Amino acid sequence: MAPAETKALLFDVFGTTVDWRGGIIRAGRELEQRRGSPAPEGVDWAALADAWRAEYRPSMERVMRGELPWTNLDGLHRASLEGLLPRFGLAGLGAEEREFLVGAWHRLDPWPDVLEGLRRLRRRYIVAPLSNGNVALLTNMARRAGLPWDLILSAEWVRRYKPDPATYLLLPRLFSFDPKQVMMVAAHPDDLLGARRAGLRTAFVPRPLEFGPEGTAPPPEGPFDVVAGDFVDLAERLGAPAASG
Amino acid sequence: MAPAETKALLFDVFGTTVDWRGGIIRAGRELEQRRGSPAPEGVDWAALADAWRAEYRPSMERVMRGELPWTNLDGLHRASLEGLLPRFGLAGLGAEEREFLVGAWHRLDPWPDVLEGLRRLRRRYIVAPLSNGNVALLTNMARRAGLPWDLILSAEWVRRYKPDPATYLLLPRLFSFDPKQVMMVAAHPDDLLGARRAGLRTAFVPRPLEFGPEGTAPPPEGPFDVVAGDFVDLAERLGAPAASG
């Protein structure tokens, strides 16, 4: 059950709200079709997606340790892609093709329960992403997918990446809410533990397909206030009404 | 006509998108009903609304000159209301009643053309407020009124009030747009001139009733790229389609 005083829900995006792996694979195949010349043995786009995502955390840590100046996620994605292309036989990609792949992170699809769940939750709570994705990325994604956010919250606003407490405290500070009145929703225990350290409530939603059909998603184990099957189930558990006027 | 490359529209809020004067008068009357005891001669809520709004620019200028630390608009509204209450026979208002009035700025109604105009414009352009109102105020207003913003942009994000160029350049910087690809929409020439100095395009939309039936609204005179009758007319002029799927 939701604490009665919950006022806002913050959602992790990559993996929790949208399927980054499927979206990157799809973009890779679109790129091959656009080129009209698939690589001789074909490109393993699933492996490229996994390798690209594996650079995500280390690249943000370089920023947080001060080894890189502030760089938003588009910039980090761009830099890490450069390092990966030769390994996948793609060193010959032109600048426009590289930008097409970097932009694929703006064009990810939500999991099937997301739109209904968010629409319901929004009737009762302020709903916002709280993502390491940059503001333009999250805005473009929301416009394309129809994600009904009330506002776009991003690590970019505070120039600190999750799990820095400044990210989780952004909404409580802007709205003068107690952190306990805000709940972080994620498929990743480390994100929820960061939110919990900042005083927020937490909801775990498993995404068993985040890392592909053979991948391993984290189990719903941890000191979470709520564990829900998906966003629609979360709406049920938090008392957010089904459709009406 | 819109320059073909326009990608985003930024909207002034108080006066351009919503009727602040009517909303403050309505809140005052609601407050009297809640109290059950109207002041003996009645309160001139229209005069209070005008006097409160007259403090708007001077209060922000005190912040911009460094005489006050950063204070968001809720805070400035709260402080200026304190100074006005005795003059209107309202020195006896309790803390909760004062907050009800401060919160009235979150509950303003849009002009009648706004929702249709924004829905149409949003099909073609990124649409966002660019207001001196704080993020929570703009979010609460959008939820209540159904304003279909793609993201909430506020002076609060850069801790500078309009017409500081950092406010107008917020969206171009976040999206890597040329300032010319962004158009500011306002009923106030000074706001549009600030946007123009920062390199944005400008659209003037007159709001003849902003200052009440006997008030005087600024004429549509200035070096604006577009002058439109209202937001629906703006959608027509900018080639934003009427309803569809």
Q: Which amino acid is at B221?
A: E
Predicted confidence (pLDDT) per residue in B73-109, tens digit: 999 999 999 999 999 999 999 999 999 999 999 999 9
Predicted confidence (pLDDT) per residue in A187-216, tens digit: 999 999 999 999 999 999 999 999 999 999
Cα(A35)–Cα(B53) distance, integer angstroms: 58
**Residue B2 within a domain:** no
Which of B73, B150, B156 is the mutation pick for testing A, counting most A CBs within 10 A? B150
CA angle B56, B59, B63 (to 5 degrees): 135
Tell whether A150 and A216 lie within a shared domain. Answer: yes
Predicted confidence (pLDDT) per residue in A45-68, tens digit: 999 999 999 999 999 999 999 999
**Residue B242 within a domain:** no
Report the domain count for chain B: 2
- Classify residue B219 by burial, with Cβ atoms within 10 Å: 0-12, 13-18, 19+: exposed
Q: Which two tokens stand for residue B242?
A: 């009427």
| pLDDT value of position A40 | 54
Tell whether A84 and A137 lie within a shared domain. Answer: no
**Smallest Cβ distance to B151: which of A126, A151, A174?**
A151
Whether B71 contacts chain A with CB within 8 A: no
- Residue with the two structure tokens 């997918």: A145
Residue pairs spanning A and B at CB distance below 8 A: 39
ipTM of the complex model = 0.95
Beta strands in B12-76 (DSSP E): none
- B156 contacts in A (CB within 8 Å)? 174
User: Is B150 within 8 Å of A142 when comparing Cβ atoms?
Assistant: yes
Whether B142 contacts chain A with CB within 8 A: yes
Q: Which two tokens stand for residue A21?
A: 């792996």
**Residue B3 within a domain:** no
**Residue B1 within a domain:** no
Tell whether A134 and A15 lie within a shared domain. Answer: yes
Tell whether A147 and A43 lie within a shared domain. Answer: no
Tell whether B15 and B64 lie within a shared domain. Answer: no
Q: Which domain holds residue A216?
A: 8-19+108-237
- B142 contacts in A (CB within 8 Å)? 150
**Smallest Cβ distance to A150: which of B143, B156, B175?**
B143
CATH of the domain at B169: 3.40.50.1000
Q: Say whether A123 sits in a helix, a strand or coil.
A: helix
Whether A158 contacts chain B with CB within 8 A: no
Which of B174, B176, B181, B182 is the mutation pick for testing A, counting most A CBs within 10 A? B174
CATH of the domain at B92: 1.10.150.240
Choosing from A85, A106, A127, the residue where a domain stops is A106
Choosing from A71, A106, A141, the residue where a domain stops is A106
| pLDDT value of position B1 | 45
| Ordered DSSP codes for A91-111 | TT--HHHHHHHHHGGGSPPBP
Choosing from B72, B106, B140, the residue where a domain stops is B106
Tell whether A15 and A119 lie within a shared domain. Answer: yes
Average pLDDT, chain B: 94
Tell whether A87 and A150 lie within a shared domain. Answer: no
Tell whether A130 and A140 lie within a shared domain. Answer: yes
- Classify residue B56 by burial, with Cβ atoms within 10 Å: 0-12, 13-18, 19+: middle
Whether A245 contacts chain B with CB within 8 A: no
User: Is B157 within 8 Å of A152 when comparing Cβ atoms?
Assistant: no
